[in-house]
Amino acid sequence: VSTQSTWDTKKMEPEKYPVVTPKDVLAFTRATEQFLCPLSANAYGIIFGNFQIREMESNQVIYKIESPADLPLMKDDGSRLLRYSFSKEFLRLKTIGTTVEFRVGPTEVKNLRMIERHYFGEKLLQSYDFTFGYCIPNSANTWELIYSLPKLSEAEINEMVKNPGKTKSDSFYFVENKLFMHHKAEYEYTPQLFI
């Protein structure tokens, strides 16, 4: 039985969460079925705020959400499952850039790292690995990330359009290689021509 299958059985009690490392998540072959750390693992008080996605060639903003800087910490798992809806034209893009603002609580953050894995069903589409580094306590920060998107066939694009929610991603956040935050996302792609 693989490590991922062992973890993805049922909702765990906080004291029973496994120790998850970057090496573990880089070996995953499908999206997780549950969150692999409790909300209480965010001992650094990191809160994400304003977020946008832009297409790099035209610099067109294709998704934007504005959140106040004084948002409280997440209180339930529903707040860390995101659902996105894009045109299928999104699947033909080559490169996107995301910008996210976040603040840090009173504890310094060393070696902040995010690993993001995207799947369609049980097929890994792309894996991304980003490092922010050090964050001083009580700081406001901006993190810009550049994603090279996978080249998909028209058949793959059509399958992703026909199966909303089957395209998923996991975002794993580590400090000094210890998982402290886990977000999940589901995607649907519509036939409209606009992004």
Task: Render pLDDT for 162-188 as a digit per residue (tens, 0 to 9).
Answer: 999 999 999 999 999 999 999 999 999
Residue range 61-106, pLDDT digits in tens: 999 998 865 666 667 788 899 999 999 999 999 999 999 999 999 9
Q: Is the pLDDT of residue 60 over 90?
A: yes
CA gap 52, 186 in Å, rounded: 17
- Tokens 């790292």, residue located: 113
Residue 173 near residue 123, CB atoms below 8 Å: no
Query: So what's the pLDDT on residue 195?
Result: 53
Whether pTM > 0.85 for this model: the answer is yes
Of 77, 4, 6, 73, give the one whose Cα is nearest residue 37.
77
Q: How many CB atoms lie within 10 A of CB 54?
A: 17
CA gap 175, 177 in Å, rounded: 5
Element (H, E) at 183: strand 178-190
Report the DSSP beta bridge partners of residue 114. 130, 173
Q: What three-state secondary structure class fits 95?
A: strand
Query: So what's the pLDDT on residue 110?
Result: 95
Which residues in 146-169 are b (16+ Cβ under 10 Å) and which e? ebebeebeeeebeebbeeeebbbb
